[in-house]
Homo-oligomer: A and B are copies of this chain.
């Protein structure tokens, strides 16, 4: 598996990232971690809220039982959303909180749950309209200084939000994790990928398979399966991997065999015309 820096000054991640969004009590997380690592997927994407604030702890159990694993993996997590949850009784409406107090508390919770003493990459989960960039800058600075977080980024930010927050920070935002796939092309056209290229920060792509919508869709999209000896999943990921912004797809599967399948996408180099044919089918139109 190719490894690559998200940013010149950012962490080195496996080009395909395993997302722990659905790695809850019903999933075999121990096996998923093993299989991922064997397949070369060394980077794991979390959020404080995944699994109703529970998935980080389940993942942490694996690390606690296998203390040697941590040094060979990169842990990403997110904060800034407060969900209605039995775990947070003071929250009575879903909202965002990017205050210093909440970010610091959320990181401490994540560290404890994950059973680690540092997070490789912390993302602000959503653009909080009440985000105070000076406060966030101070908070990130503290977390960097005390070694709890090595690198910082954002998720679901617009171009102006990204550029605004960056302008307050003394170090780079190393990514913007956004939804992008053959069934969600907005980031290619609304400037999201352009802006990241300009800041030399690679995108992370969530829902890179379009939440399964693609698989049930137009079979024409998969006409090249045989020539590439590839599955729909692999073609979908290879299509993202070819983009010059250097995307890191975050796969969300809970099935070990699908992890293995996905990891192999890294070896597919789509031909330029095949890439444009897939774009044409996905977007429903020829390029202008």
Number of copies: 3
- A92, A129, A133, A272, most chain B CB atoms within 10 A: A129
Q: Say yes or no: A244 contacts B132, CB within 8 Å.
A: yes
Partner of A272, one of B130, B158, B288: B130
Residues of chain B within 8 A of A129, CB atoms compared: 188, 243, 279
Given A243-B130, A276-B95, A280-B93, decide whether A158 and B287 contact each other with a Cβ distance below 8 A.
no
> Is A150's CB within 8 Å of the partner chain B?
no
Residue of B nearest to A276 (CB): B95
> Is A57's CB within 8 Å of the partner chain B?
no
Partner of A195, one of B91, B164, B188: B164
Residues of A within 8 A of B (CB): 91-97, 99, 126, 129-133, 156, 158-161, 163-164, 167, 188, 191, 194-195, 197-198, 242-244, 272-273, 275-277, 279-280, 286-288
Given A130-B244, A244-B132, A275-B130, decide whether A163 and B198 contact each other with a Cβ distance below 8 A.
yes
Residues of chain B within 8 A of A99, CB atoms compared: 272
Q: Say yes or no: B194 contacts A97, CB within 8 Å.
A: no
Partner of A244, one of B133, B273, B288: B133
Q: List 25 A-B contacts (CB under 8 A).
A: A92-B273, A93-B276, A93-B277, A94-B286, A94-B287, A95-B273, A95-B287, A96-B276, A96-B287, A97-B272, A99-B272, A129-B188, A130-B243, A130-B244, A130-B272, A130-B275, A132-B244, A133-B197, A156-B288, A158-B191, A159-B160, A161-B191, A161-B194, A163-B198, A164-B194
Residues of chain B within 8 A of A132, CB atoms compared: 244
Output the least CB separation between A223 and chain B (Å): 12
Q: Say yes or no: A287 contacts B164, CB within 8 Å.
A: no
Q: How far is the CA of A244 from the CA of B132 in the complex (A)?
A: 5
Q: Say yes or no: B164 contacts A197, CB within 8 Å.
A: yes
Given A158-B191, A276-B96, decide whether A198 and B164 contact each other with a Cβ distance below 8 A.
yes
Q: Say yes or no: B286 contacts A194, CB within 8 Å.
A: no
Output the least CB separation between A254 and chain B (Å): 23
Nearest first, the 8 closest Cβ-Cβ pairs linking A and B are A160-B191, A95-B276, A160-B194, A132-B244, A164-B194, A164-B198, A167-B198, A164-B197
Q: How far is the CA of A130 from the CA of B274 in the complex (A)?
A: 12
Residues of chain B within 8 A of A272, CB atoms compared: 95, 97, 99, 130
